[in-house]
Chains A and B, each alone.
Chain A
């Protein structure tokens, strides 16, 4: 699992000759947001460049963007969040995943933080 400075997590899995990345928001981010009440997910087959707005997560008070942590094409979205957005708080780094993307360039993950580095990053 890798983490971005925008508090997304990204997990790679082999899929034939390519990589599929699962993306969500970190436990830390979910805690900071508070009670999640709404999630807006991207369309399947939508293409994003690294850093594009890909999804929206809203708490009682505010809306936040979820960025595409890498470039790629959406292959699946977690539709269960539409009816149960509270899953983002309950299991942010498991059942609360947002979307899966077909990775265009796996080297984009190279500079990202691992769990220990992310832990240090949020403690700063």
Chain B
């Protein structure tokens, strides 16, 4: 076998035409930045709207042969810890695939389709680097009568930022009031889309699944708005880091459990108590005994960024953990990081040292996120 061929999304030519710097990422040639640069792209997304090609991610459907949602939901609840059976049509949840030891194999978004005639289907979005392994494993885990259909005909485009709703609402007024973590199937200017109100920036926004053949048309349409600029993987990373969101393979992996990673919120109470999913024993053990380490936000004092792999020490110089994501936060206007520390050091405000190029530099534990999440919570007002 030769070198694996690097894949391209349907928008590859568009990125190149826009002057993007293309880099290999999870087997795809992806735009790491456009001529605007990471800093300005990041700030633009926080203030306006940013357009992302995330077609490298894996999309699939879980379909019960008997046409009953309960059948698909029951099967998928044996695999993930989220409340799947309780999903209403169009509702979306964040979850993780765990191994038998409770280590995280990948994280994912799962929704119950809302479209009439298809509301017994589950739709999942998984990470690009894990998708082949996820789909192979999942196909083997699902029982007879429940089928995994891996999509090879869908692109995925995200529009994120405080002006994303205004842009989408020009074509689809209903999109403006969609609840966070819900989805609809509807047309944008005649293009059929599966639209979910979610994302990976900490901002309000949408992830839009669209047929490959329509991807370019939708991309150009959304790009035509003054509020919209294209955003590469560089700013996507700094946005999600400021937003306190985990990057698989860095902040979470097979060696970390959901409780250590601070993701217990994604496991509802009845599932924590009743188990019945892969890795449940570890989650129960971590809850009962409390984990040995915790994922925390880390604010370096001073300007030096602390990168992934930086050793964390206590004030006595003993190693207590490691940075798993770190860099510069354009909105935070300084270095930002997250990592794992021994539990006794996880309290917000704890002073720590980061060993950067051999020198201990002061930092402290902070509460994530670095920049407040700006998710759409509806127009409910207290009277």
Interface residue ranges, A against B (CB under 8 Å): 34-35, 37-38, 40, 56, 58-63, 82, 85
Contacts and interface: CB of A to CB of B under 8 A. Distances in A.
B38 interface: yes
Given A34-B38, A38-B335, A60 B304 contact: no
B158 to A, nearest CB: 19
Nearest to B328: A37
Given A37-B303, A82-B303, 17 more contacts: A34-B33, A34-B39, A34-B234, A35-B39, A37-B335, A38-B303, A38-B305, A40-B304, A40-B357, A58-B304, A58-B328, A60-B38, A60-B234, A60-B328, A61-B238, A62-B307, A63-B305
Contacts of A60: 38-39, 42, 234-235, 238, 327-328, 330
Contacts, number: 48
Contact of A61 (B38, B303, B304, B335): B38
Interface string B88-111: 000000000000000000000000
Given A37-B303, A38-B304, A38-B305, A61 B327 contact: yes
A56 B32 CA distance: 22
Contacts of A85: 303
Chief secondary structure at chain B's binding surface: mixed
Interface of B: 32-33, 37-40, 42, 234-235, 237-238, 303-305, 307, 327-328, 330, 335, 357
Residue from A37, A38, A59, A63 having most chain B Cβ neighbours under 10 A: A37
A37 B33 CA distance: 16
Contact of B307 (A34, A63, A82): A63
A35 B37 CA distance: 7
23 contacts: A34-B33, A34-B38, A34-B234, A35-B37, A37-B303, A37-B328, A38-B303, A38-B328, A38-B335, A40-B357, A56-B357, A58-B328, A59-B38, A59-B328, A60-B42, A60-B235, A60-B327, A60-B330, A61-B237, A61-B238, A61-B327, A63-B307, A82-B303
A98 to B, nearest CB: 16
B39 A58 contact: no
Which are the 3 A-B pairs with shortest beta-carbon distances? A35-B39, A37-B328, A60-B38
A37 B305 contact: yes
Contacts of A62: 307
Nearest to A63: B307
Residue from B33, B235, B327, B335 having most chain A Cβ neighbours under 10 A: B327
Nearest to A40: B304
Nearest to B33: A34
Nearest to B304: A38
A108 B232 CA distance: 41
Contact of A35 (B38, B237, B303, B304): B38
Contacts of A40: 304, 357
A34 B42 CA distance: 13
A40 B300 CA distance: 15
Contacts of A38: 303-305, 328, 335
